Amino acid sequence: MRQSRPRSLAVALACAAFAAAGCEQTPLPFAANEDSRDYTAIDAGPSSVEYTGAIRIGVVPSASSVTIGADGPWELVEKATGDVVLTGSGGSLAVTIETPATIRTIYRLQVACYGEAALNDWLARAHALGYTTWTESLGFCTRARLVYPSTDHSFGARNAFRNQAIADGLSGTDSFWTTGSEISAAVLRVAGSSTVMVDEAAIMRSDNGRVTINGTPYRGIAEVAPNSTGTLAGINSLPMEDYLYGVVPRELPPTVYGELEALKAQAVAARTYAMRGLGKRAANGYDLLATTSDQVYGGIAAEHPLSTQAVEETAGIVAKYDGALIEALYSSTSGGFTADNEEVYNSAPVAYLRGVPDAQRGNAFENVPSLDVFKRHANPRSLRGYNGGDFEADWSRYHRWTFEWSADEIRGAISAWRGIDVGTVHEINVLDRGPSGRVIHIEYVTDAGTFTSTKDAIRSSLRFVNASGGYSSMLSTLFYIEPVIDRKSKAVTGYVAWGGGWGHGVGLSQTGAVGMAEKKATYEEILKHYYRDITLDLAY
């Protein structure tokens, strides 16, 4: 009888990587980036925004009220003017919207395009009569317009204004209306021991370079400003390296995966992702979110000496291909073979995002995990006991997994995806696979019709029943699925899937990086294994 005994992480990784029978591992927590990560920028190219010494993170994307504070001396600055409007030491301030921003349509009566002398004469006469003017230089002449002053935009009211301008000798009968817009900044109420009103945004700076936003401590400064939906965003602006101190330990926890070279690879990938993402969410006043939609960022509380060392020893280093920042995609566990980007996303092939084996077995297609490999794995973990939304995983736990649906459960899963009762699910057919073995086209044959799904969207079409009884998206598209057939009646009583990996599987495998580091690979070797033909360069 096989005995269970403690194993080193190196052995655990090796066992899982080679799908070896007889290996047992103790589950380890792992905080990974997963389902919601937004990679719509694959086709967009590198950011055109220049790094100027700080990155802006939306740590509170939307709220009616945001609290900012510091544990030492601080000052509050009105962003619109740069004026210091409050000072204090310790404590916090509650920021709310006093007056929302508004957009007002402005009507202007275009009169003529004048030369310099004629323009000066027209301006003098218009101002003497109390008109507000608007001019625009075209180089060879200057457009002259009269600003309509009333909020009554009816044709009759505007026509009366035009006729008066004609009578005053400021306009001709060939004048015509143009429109523009005037945006008034929101007014924010900032309340603490004193209350002030500020235009546009409020910024808190502290003497010790540390602030809090909704009680969470961060390096840098705290800013509160309206976002594109009219609510408030809590923004942490700070130097790139300080930001990475709070990212790397959340994306690859050093308390579990204490391999410095793997953490350095993660630091370079995270820095590259952040540099390329500058300006990505500028419409909301910041560059990136602090969640799996971009990169998980935990601020000061997340920092750890080992991950901080990894950031500092790679300071400024980014990954490039053909001289441009790469789209540094990464996910938790590849399942044995990473994916070409076009297997997962609707994008053209990217030269550096080519599928590679997670283990050191060469690049041959025969190394892609087969159904037989999946079925023969010593202990493929059942997903039924895992609750959706928990982003902690153990590398070996999600290297191989399995799930079985009853007929009612698969009906519920497909119905939830389609938003209708699909009735009996008669067949589930994989129509196409990519080079890594991932499903890229699947069909569901049901009473309500035949439905198809493609690429990474397949994960949300084929869901498993989690520990709380709800549906969670499939962990990856690297799976095989077969009907469960009753031996006597030959009826289909459900479906069973064998799968591997967690996440999209494109680019760096975080747990694979740990395995490579344990085998003495350097961070440069790790990065150049998962991102093909890249260079590592200093960005600043």
| pLDDT of res. 365 | 53
Alpha-carbon gap, residue 131 to 119, rounded angstroms = 14
Angstrom distance (rounded) from CA 256 to CA 304: 12
Largest CA distance in the chain: 106
pLDDT surpasses 50 at 22 = no
Shared domain for 363 and 275, answered yes or no, is: no
pLDDT above 60: residue 6: no
140 and 247 together in one domain: no
Asked whether the whole model's pTM tops 0.85, one would answer no
Q: What is the mean pLDDT of the chain?
A: 86
pLDDT at 274: 97
Could you give the CA distance from residue 506 to residue 355 in angstroms, rounded to a whole number? Answer: 7
383 with 448, same domain: the answer is: yes
Please report which confidence band the pLDDT of residue 102 belongs to, taking 50, 70 and 90 as the band edges: confident
Q: What percent of the chain has pLDDT over 90?
A: 69
* CA 58 to each of CA 63, 248, 274: distance values in angstroms, whole numbers, following the listed order: 11, 17, 13
Average of pLDDT values for 169-190? 87
Fill in the DSSP letter of residue 51.
Answer: P
Residue 374 lies in a domain: yes
pLDDT band at 394 (very low <50, low <70, confident <90, very high): very low
Q: What is the pLDDT of residue 31?
A: 36
- The pLDDT, as a whole number, for residue 336 is 84
Residues 161 and 246 placed together within one structural domain of the fold: no
Do the domain assignments include residue 500? Answer: yes
Q: What is the mean pLDDT of residues 206-213?
A: 98
Q: In angstroms, what CA-CA distances link 303 with 65, 210, 250?
A: 27, 14, 8
Give dist(CA 293, CA 39) in Å, integer: 8
Cα 41–chain centre separation: 10
Q: Are residues 525 and 479 in the same domain?
A: no
What CATH number does the domain containing 134 carry? 3.30.70.1070
pLDDT of amino acid 126 = 95
**pLDDT(120) > 90:** yes
Residue 445's domain comprises 1-30+330-504
Q: What is the pLDDT of residue 74?
A: 97
Q: What is the pLDDT of residue 42?
A: 60
Q: Both 472 and 514 in a single domain? A: no
Whether 206 maps to a domain, the answer reads no
> What tens digit of pLDDT does each residue of 458-468 get?
999 999 988 88
Q: So what's the pLDDT on residue 39?
A: 46
Query: Which band of pLDDT confidence, cut at 50, 70 and 90, is reported for residue 239?
Result: very high
Counting the structural domains of the chain, the total is 3
Indicate if 462 and 402 belong to the same structural domain. yes
Q: pLDDT of 132-145, one tens digit each? A: 999 988 888 999 99
Q: Please write the tens of the pLDDT for every residue from 346-369.
A: 999 999 999 988 765 545 455 677
The domain boundary residue, chosen from 162, 184, 206: 184
